[in-house]
Amino acid sequence: MNIGEVAERSGVPSKTIRYYEEIGLVRPLRSGNGYRDFAAEELHRLAFLGRARSLGFSLEECRTLLSLYGDHERSSSDVKAITRSHLARIDRKVSELQALSRTLRDLVARCHGDDRPDCPIMEDLAHAGTRGCPASLTASCTD
Amino acid sequence: MNIGEVAERSGVPSKTIRYYEEIGLVRPLRSGNGYRDFAAEELHRLAFLGRARSLGFSLEECRTLLSLYGDHERSSSDVKAITRSHLARIDRKVSELQALSRTLRDLVARCHGDDRPDCPIMEDLAHAGTRGCPASLTASCTD
DNA sequence: GGTAGTGCTTCCAGTAGATGGAAGGTCAAC
DNA sequence: GTTGACCTTCCATCTACTGGAAGCACTACC
């Protein structure tokens, strides 16, 4: 199977497949003409990769998951551990973004949004010293 | 003011300040010895940048916000529009991550996490075709 | 005057995860 | 034999820095 067909069937773009080969996530054979030649197994690995990436796993996590995928002696606890730590990372990120969202929502609500220059958003950015900005700035912002 | 002091007072690392100069976000003067020489205004711009970045604005958004910062004829509606679209982007991201989180949480809940190989997480990744994986894969995954 | 230590300079490389494009070889059809 | 789709490699680009090497500049101390 050539790269184009594999790309279409796995949903992973050709460019990305070449990149995955470059970093050793897939190892297709080569035909006599130099074209990559993908066996069914490589197609499955690519579909696996596509799904894992769509779930937000990093490529290094994908590498580990792929090796567990091919390991019939694997323990599901290993898979679960990786997934759990990934989940924790995502939940941390959600909390961070929700905090940002609250702050921004508040600023937007307080801004008139008219043709005058006064703007609570600008004031927040300009006088960051008193809240949320790096501690080292606080002193110099009180002037 | 030398870069070290500005870094400490603005909370933006020296390395980052040099980078910001390279991409034209700040333009410090130079002393006779070749050192960067920051005026109070540049310090304020850096503090502004630090706060805007901590709110998740991209550097291009920061560039626009900085130009509005220095523009006494600005309209708060421009600032508000940028902030609103940034907020919308964050809220989209939160939704995406929450969807991921739900999926991962469900998978983790269904995985025994013992020393046997059977694992619903692996099954999801391996047979992605029926749900959530790229449409092009669906056909080839039903086998 | 020499030297140690800190701070400054530039330049280059690397991070994650691709993506875009140029230059060129291959293949099937007409 | 030529067009056009597909494949190849290689290099550059994106975001937003960060780390490190090599080499001046400045201050303090002996």
Domains of chain A, by residue range, sit at 3-56, 75-128
pLDDT at A95: 96
Cα–Cα distance measured from residue A38 to residue A60, given in angstroms and rounded to the nearest whole number: 22
Counting Cβ atoms within 10 Å, is residue A122 exposed (0-12), middle (13-18) or buried (19+)? buried
Q: A136 — contact with chain B (CB < 8 Å)? A: yes
Structural tokens at position A4: 């184009």
pLDDT in tens, B40-92: 999 999 999 999 999 999 999 999 999 999 999 999 999 999 999 999 999 99
Closest chain B residue to A116, measured at CA: B75
* pLDDT tens over chain A, length 143 residues: 999 999 999 999 999 999 999 999 999 999 999 999 999 999 999 999 999 999 999 999 999 999 999 999 999 999 999 999 999 999 999 999 999 999 999 999 999 999 999 999 999 999 875 333 443 333 332 22
Would you identify the CATH topology of the domain A3-56?
A: Multidrug-efflux Transporter Regulator; Chain: A; Domain 2 (1.10.1660)
pLDDT in tens, A64-81: 999 999 999 999 999 999
Closest CA to A83 of A41, A52, A107: A52
Give the pLDDT of residue B63: 96
Identify which of B140, B14, B9 has the alpha carbon closest to the alpha carbon of residue A135: B9
Q: Residue B13 gets which letter from DSSP? A: -
* Nearest by CB: A69 against B114, B116, B122: B122
Q: Which run of H or E residues covers position B90? A: helix B76-110
Closest CA to B109 of A61, A84, A24: A84
Q: How many CB atoms lie within 10 A of CB A90?
A: 20
Of the candidates A77, A55, A53, A46, which has an alpha carbon nearest to the alpha carbon of residue B119?
A: A77
pLDDT for A128: 73
DSSP code for A130: G
Q: How far apart are CA A63 and CA A53, in angstroms?
A: 11
Is residue B24 scored above 90 in pLDDT? yes
**Quick one: CA dihedral B89, B95, B98, B99, positive or negative?**
negative
Q: Which residue is nearest to nucleotide D7 (CA to C1')?
A: A35
DSSP B55: T
Residues 6+ apart with CB under 8 A from B23: B59
Q: Which residue has the tokens 């995502």?
A: A90
Comparing every residue's Cα with the C1' atom of nucleotide D5, the nearest one is A4
Q: What does chain B come to in residues?
A: 143
Please say if the pLDDT value at position B123 is more than 50: yes
Q: What is the pTM of this model?
A: 0.85
A132 vs B contacts (CB less than 8 Å)? 51, 54
What's the pLDDT tens digit per position in B26-44?
A: 999 999 999 999 999 999 9
How far apart, in Å, are the Cα atoms of A59 and each of A63, B73, B118, B138? Answer: 6, 48, 23, 23
Q: Which residues of A touch B117 (CB under 8 A)?
A: 71-76
